[in-house]
Structure 1
Amino acid sequence: MHQKDRLIRIMKVLRSQSAPIAAEDLARVVGAPEPLLAEDIRVLVRRKIPVHGDAERGYLLEQARETFTLSLTLDEMEAALMGAVWAVERGDPTVATAARMVVAKLARHLPEELRPVILESERQAVAKLPTYDGRMMRQALRTRAKVRMRYRGLKGEVTSRIVWPLVIAHADEVRVLVAWCELRDGFRHFTLDQIEAIDVLDARYPTRRDKLLADWREYQERTGHRANV
């Protein structure tokens, strides 16, 4: 059994204990000899995990200060880091800020094997983030509010649209806003990176959202313009 797997097992056992667990009992549950278990405990302590006790008195985890990171395998932690770095690069300002906090929290207890992932994210340039406030768009999606939007087309032309935001989806390798466009009197897929500004209006669009979704799916079948939710 690899040490990272033993550490995870030790943490799971200690979390379930309200009183010190004897070293021999902990070794039996984890499936490791006591000398190896003692070394694993020293590793946890060096990583600032609040494990108290010794082989004679037993071991106890100070629950109030327990960190969540060791409940993740290395693969899971790397996946979380990759997702957070992606969000720093591609998310709206609110999501990007939250993602930076996730990276910082994970970095505090990061195993040496994953240091290159953090270093790579720190070397990257400041992400090119959407200029509109993503929270406002999410609010409009939840409340069926109409949105006035400034949109830059592929040729650089900028138009003002009033749209009925329906859903955020994926089309090819980009994220798009699926919406009914009053200017074009039809469904359109707006690339999020090309939305320059939005203003959530007081007016709500008149059609039920489930009806619009059904009409949009029929539109995809008819035109072949695909976007995956």
Structure 2
Amino acid sequence: MNRPVRSARLLQLLDELRRCRSPVSGARLAERLGVSLRTLYRDIAVLRAQGADVAGDAGVGYQLRPGFLLPPMMFPPEELEALLLGARWVAAHADPVLARAAAQGMERIASTLPALLRLEVETSGLFAPQWAGPPPEPWLGTLRHAIRAGHAVRMRYTDADGTVTERVVWPFAMAFLDRMRLLAGWCELRQDFRHFRADRVLALEDTGVRYPAQRHDLLRRWRRERLPAGSDARDLA
């Protein structure tokens, strides 16, 4: 079992149990997590071994008893505001999956805070509304996965002159600007680094094939060759 995947699933299971006010059946938990009942039972055993007070059994359902949370966390007010504002910005500007992850991440952080700091989060007056930015592209989640996995993507792209081309690109970075999103990748067609405006991508699919370079190496080369000192992604648009 891939350890990062299992760790993420255990956190998700904790979240599901934390939200439940009454015992929930193993079958329902397994369905929500997308795993088998056997895997769920193993995960519950792991949580119990790590100190989680999970009550119940296969016949009556499971419930996380009050008192078990992640270790208490303390943040200076400015750090807490920065985290909250960042999460709200992502929730307003990213694709639905990433937006939901931002909200759930803040919920997890808030659940570990002392009561006074948790109240600060719940009553914060900092917001990040979306003004004139573009709506999230439907393939944005696919692209994020390809970047994480180091997969090549196949896309149809139209340039500023309206010329449409089909390309295979090795994506390694995505910039979320005020009025556009910008993809940075190695283009097999041009054999060079290229930047693609998301609003000009007509279609994009993950090939499922890892590209031969290491993503961190591409990112390092791109920064050295294409990102002049003192500039940022906005200079590339």
Q: Which of these two proteins has the greater Rg computed from alpha carbons?
A: 1
